[in-house]
Amino acid sequence: MNQVEKALTHALFVHLHHNVDKAIDFGAFKKLNEKVDQIWPGALVVGPEANDDAAVVKIPGTECLVAAKMESHCSPCVPRPYDGAATGAGGAMRDVVAMGARPIFLLDFIGTRPLEEEVLVGPCGFNGTCTCGECQSMTSQERINLMLKGIRDMSEAMGVFVAGGGFSTSFSDIVPAVVVAVVGQQITEKPLTKPAKSAGDQIIIIGTTGKDGNDTLYRAGLVPILRPAEAAFAEERATMDTTLAAYRTGKIKACSDLGAAGIGAAVCESARFGGLGARIDLSKVPVRVADITPEEILICETQARMLLQVAPEDVEEVLAAVKSQNAVAALIGEITSEDQTVFEYAGQVVASIPNHPSKEILASLRK
């Protein structure tokens, strides 16, 4: 395995962000939900065991489906409180959109140190002492103001209510708690679940990819500088509106939000959950900067992007709907019947990720 394959395999199969079931007993929730289903039969449409982008419930006595997602963005708020909170809110909204819903309202929770205590904001924030000369010392209250402004500005850009939330100053850790929950109404006939549906389906990306959000590459030692994901307010709204326009064609078979580990994770998970594979041409991905590497295109977590899967015969209709919104989009690959996902650039394989890595490979990545 090359270094980028190790980084992506670790993110997909070892890191708890993509393996929540290793820390949380979904089985206990499933048993509970089966009991509650006796009260509200069929109300839970997509539950936690589905490991999808968001939950979906049906309001009893109606035909209304509601999608909801809770997302934390705590660590990014240490170096960049404003962008960290804004991208957390935007990411939760995209997760709701990925299920085929339009976000309506948001609840947030902020947990931090007492208001008068000093906190360090910037690249050295986790160390507590600045050695780069770029950090800023501020009060906990000032940092809270930045985080709340990030959430507010993203909600305004997306046309989403901030309906309530919670707050605590009892936290003593360097990392604040920044959690948002987003609720939206389904606009598609049924939820657009993440698993790939059919070999041959085409993969369309909406939005452009940059060098920010390189956390996975940085942890793997493949880039020297950590660049947290940057908030992209107008772009987020454009991506949402474009995705909803694509949904109205009725031709979307699966959808994924591009979050942690970017294109790499979104494609691999969709293919694997569907018992299929995929092949992606990274050179076809629209990019924001000219000096971006194939590895950055593969894994960077640039905001305001979505992946759609459509049947080959429906590609032109969906792309026409996308272009009607003056959005940037491209056909970048397809679902295959293989048991792996292959990422290429200019005819060269950048990474090949098996659906089922060997025990030996996983053991080596845990060291």
Cβ 211 vs Cβ 300: under 8 Å? yes
Is 356 catalytic? The answer is: no
- What residues have CB less than 8 Å from 5, skipping those under 6 apart? 351, 352, 353
Q: What is the rounded (10 degree) CA torsion for 318, 199, 98, 292? A: -80
Q: Which of 10, 17, 73, 356 is catalytic?
A: 73
Residue 78 tokens, joined: 């240490």
Cβ 111 vs Cβ 101: under 8 Å? no
Residue 30 tokens, joined: 């499933």
Residue 108 tokens, joined: 């947030």
Instruction: Give the angle subtended at the CA of 79 by the CAs of 78 and 85, to the nearest 5°.
Output: 65
Cα dist. 190→49, 99, 169 in Å?
18, 9, 41
Query: Scanning the structure block, which residue is given the tokens 């990306």?
Result: 205
Q: Is 44 left (phi over 0), alpha (psi -120 to 50) or beta?
A: beta
Please give the single-letter amino acid code of residue 95.
D
Residue 135 tokens, joined: 């950090």
Query: Scanning the structure block, which residue is given the tokens 């936290």?
Result: 171
Q: How far apart are CA 228 and CA 74, in angstroms?
A: 12
Distance of CA 202 to the CA centre of its chain: 20
Q: Is the dihedral of CA 17, 23, 28, 32 positive or negative?
A: negative
Comparing C-alpha atoms, which of 257, 275, 276 is closest to residue 335? Answer: 276
Cβ 182 vs Cβ 160: under 8 Å? yes
Is 17 catalytic? The answer is: no
Residue 245 tokens, joined: 């326009």
C-beta atoms surrounding 46 within 10 Å:
21
| Cα end-to-end span (Å), the chain | 15
Q: Which of 15, 17, 18, 356 is catalytic?
A: 15
What are the catalytic residues?
15, 73
